[in-house]
Structure 1
Amino acid sequence: MSIAFLFPGQGAQSPGFLHRLPDHPSVAATLQEATTVLGREILELDGGAALQSTVAVQLGLLVAGVATARALAAEGVAPAMVAGLSVGSFAAAVTAGALALADALRLVDRRARLMEQACPAGFGMVAVTGLPQRRVEAIIGAIHGPAAPLYLANLNGPAEFVLSGADAALDRAIETAQQAGARRAERLAVAVPSHCPLMDGAAAALTAAIESVPVAAPRIPVVGNRRARALRDAAAVWEELATNLAHPVRWSDSVTLMAEHGATAFLEMPPGTVLTRLAAAEFPDLPGRCMESLSLSGARTFAARAGDR
């Protein structure tokens, strides 16, 4: 059996998600490490008001993913490969041994602040479900312009997409998508326009910041967002972490790659359930569960049963 650990990105958060992590020594140690490195209490970052901050959300997602993966490893559940959506790539890199948690915390803090500074207000992201890619691209083409930038940011499935842009463009995109028959077209809980050229400046600044950070070859493959390829050396992981915020997320292709490279089960780190749902939609015969609703003992049982398939 080859389990792939999936680490969610911004938009998966919900109030109290750090307080719902498993009661385990590895989780407690990770929370304490994050608090020490950041100089602030990490458990204060998952309140309703705190989650209005991109910085708080991204740091919380990183810590939740790493803490849970460490607890699973201590209980004998280890991944054969990892993938993270957007900022989830940092948790994936830490879990694969390519990046130290302390360095990841500092980089994610810097990343989130750069993203907020690049587009401090009036921007966001919209999920569109139930339309083919060509129709979504046509909607974008009809709306995009200097005064209303709009981009295709995430390709999450054959009919699952996320758009980034200015509020006015996003509002028009929602209306147009609904008129075109989309099953869903709604704003996400993301206050910045990720994975598009609006983040080029932030990516350049992050690249400069990450140059001095040690990145190692991962112990297991890390599947990247930009090219949906297995990253097996330090340089490839470095490029992914430094630049993925300004490029579309090819999540559907990433899941396909994991299945083609031998993943026989998917286990989603907290918070949220979106990545489990997306994997099940494309590979219904491969078992998948999310730690949001699974105990550590349940995860051991899931891994054992998946291994018996």
Structure 2
Amino acid sequence: MTLALLFPGQGAQSPGFLHKLPQHDAVRATLAEASAALGLDVLTLDSDDSLRSTVAVQIGLTVAGVAVARALAHEGLVAQFCAGLSVGAYAAAVTCEALSFGDALHMVRKRAELMENAWPSGYGLAAVAGLSETQVEALAQAHAREGGEPVYVANVNAPRQIVVAGADAALAAFSARALAAGARKAQRLMVAVPSHCELLADAADKLTAWAKDIPFTAPRSVYVDNRGGRPLHSANAIRADLATNMRYTVRWYDALTVVIESGASVLVEAPPGQVLTDIAREHYPEETTALAASTLPHERLVAIVRRRLG
């Protein structure tokens, strides 16, 4: 029986999520380390106002993920597998010991600044439920043929849970088209940049150049990327994944499947969300126990994980 930690991406944030982290020595130490590394009080990053900033959100998610991973490790619960959706990959890399926490924070801040500066306003993401990737691609092509601004498949979170990226007006028009074509739901996400598409190619190139001298090491546990949905074993492969993942489609369902088929039996999703937990429960109900850390007191989470791991 093995443990996997899953780290959510942008869109999972909610006001006060850093203040809701467990009252645990490892969490307090992580918050202090992050504040010292960044030269600011990270507990200011989860206010309503702060969460309008891509930079604050991405840093906050990284801090929350690492803090809870460390709190679990303090209790002897060390993950054999780590995977993170989009910016969640940074917390996964830190937890796998492929990258130091301080370097991850600086790289995340640079990543978010590049994303925000590339498209300061008027762009974002929308989630479409009930259509397949093939159906969404066909609708996107029809939308473009009729003169609409392009939309891109940004995330394949599950076989019928697809996220698209683009300009505000394009997303609104595409959402209406998707609903007319039989989508169960189409809604905007709390993300203000067009993540995971070619609109961020230039930003990804800039982050790659910026990160070339950051020290990475081979991971101590299995790091699963979400561009190809496969384990990465070398320092350079993980560096390239983190530097470029903003421009490529997130294939989360593939990554989740690899984690489970590789033997992970207990999945714990780091705060603040439970979307990744819900996907695992829906599609792999027999194979795994999926738990969202944000929905349980830390002591109870630890007890359940210990019991399920046997």
- Post-superposition Cα deviations, 1:52-109, rounded to whole Å, max 9, x if no partner, equal 0000000000000001100110012111100000000000000000000100010000
Counterpart Cα distance in 2 of 1:200 and 1:134: 23
- Matched residue, 1:261: 262
- Post-superposition Cα deviations, 1:28-65, rounded to whole Å, max 9, x if no partner, equal 11111111111111000000010000000000000000
Contact 1:76–1:300 (8 Å) recurs in 2: no
Select between 193-202 and 74-83 the one with higher mean Cα deviation: 74-83
SS at match of 2:126: strand
SS at match of 1:104: helix
Contact 1:144–1:151 (8 Å) recurs in 2: no
Counterpart amino acid of residue 191 in structure 1: A
- Matched residue, 1:127: 127
SS at match of 1:86: coil
Q: CA deviation at 1:220?
A: 0.3
- Matched residue, 2:40: 40
Counterpart amino acid of residue 299 in structure 2: S
- Matched residue, 2:85: 85
Counterpart amino acid of residue 21 in structure 2: L
- Matched residue, 1:143: 143
Structure 1 residue 166 corresponds to structure 2 residue 173? no
Counterpart Cα distance in 2 of 1:133 and 1:237: 26
- Matched residue, 2:6: 6
Contact 1:34–1:105 (8 Å) recurs in 2: yes
Contact 2:62–2:90 (8 Å) recurs in 1: yes
Q: CA deviation at 1:203?
A: 0.2
Alignment of 1:51-70 (within 5 A): 51-70=51-70
Contact 2:111–2:207 (8 Å) recurs in 1: yes
Counterpart Cα distance in 1 of 2:84 and 2:244: 14
SS at match of 1:178: helix
Counterpart Cα distance in 2 of 1:44 and 1:21: 14
Contact 2:3–2:309 (8 Å) recurs in 1: no
Counterpart Cα distance in 2 of 1:91 and 1:110: 15
Structure 1 residue 234 corresponds to structure 2 residue 211? no
Structure 1 residue 191 corresponds to structure 2 residue 227? no
Counterpart Cα distance in 2 of 1:122 and 1:189: 13
Segments of 5+ residues of structure 1 without an aligned counterpart are: none
Structure 1 residue 300 corresponds to structure 2 residue 299? no
User: What is the aligned-residue identity percentage?
Assistant: 50
- Matched residue, 1:271: 272
Contact 1:124–1:166 (8 Å) recurs in 2: yes
Counterpart amino acid of residue 200 in structure 1: A
Structure 1 residue 222 corresponds to structure 2 residue 216? no
- Post-superposition Cα deviations, 1:250-287, rounded to whole Å, max 9, x if no partner, equal 00000110111111111000011100011112201111
In the TM superposition, structure 1's runs of 4+ consecutive aligned residues that sit over 3 Å from their partners are 144-147
Counterpart Cα distance in 1 of 2:119 and 2:214: 26
Counterpart Cα distance in 1 of 2:106 and 2:253: 29
Counterpart Cα distance in 2 of 1:97 and 1:52: 30
Q: CA deviation at 1:305?
A: 2.4
- Matched residue, 1:98: 98
- Matched residue, 1:204: 205
- Post-superposition Cα deviations, 1:150-179, rounded to whole Å, max 9, x if no partner, equal 100001111010000111110011101111
Q: Normalised by the size of structure 2, how large is the TM-score?
A: 0.97
Counterpart Cα distance in 1 of 2:303 and 2:161: 31
Counterpart amino acid of residue 121 in structure 2: A
- Post-superposition Cα deviations, 1:97-127, rounded to whole Å, max 9, x if no partner, equal 0000100010000000000111111100000
Q: CA deviation at 1:15?
A: 0.1
Q: Normalised by the size of structure 1, how large is the TM-score?
A: 0.98
Which one of the candidate residues 270, 288, 291 is aligned to 1:289? 291
Counterpart amino acid of residue 59 in structure 2: L
Q: CA deviation at 1:21?
A: 0.2
SS at match of 1:15: coil
Contact 1:231–1:237 (8 Å) recurs in 2: yes
Q: CA deviation at 1:149?
A: 2.3
SS at match of 1:191: coil
Contact 2:132–2:162 (8 Å) recurs in 1: no
- Post-superposition Cα deviations, 1:187-245, rounded to whole Å, max 9, x if no partner, equal 00000000000000110000011101000101001100111110111111111111101
Counterpart Cα distance in 2 of 1:269 and 1:292: 7
- Matched residue, 1:117: 117
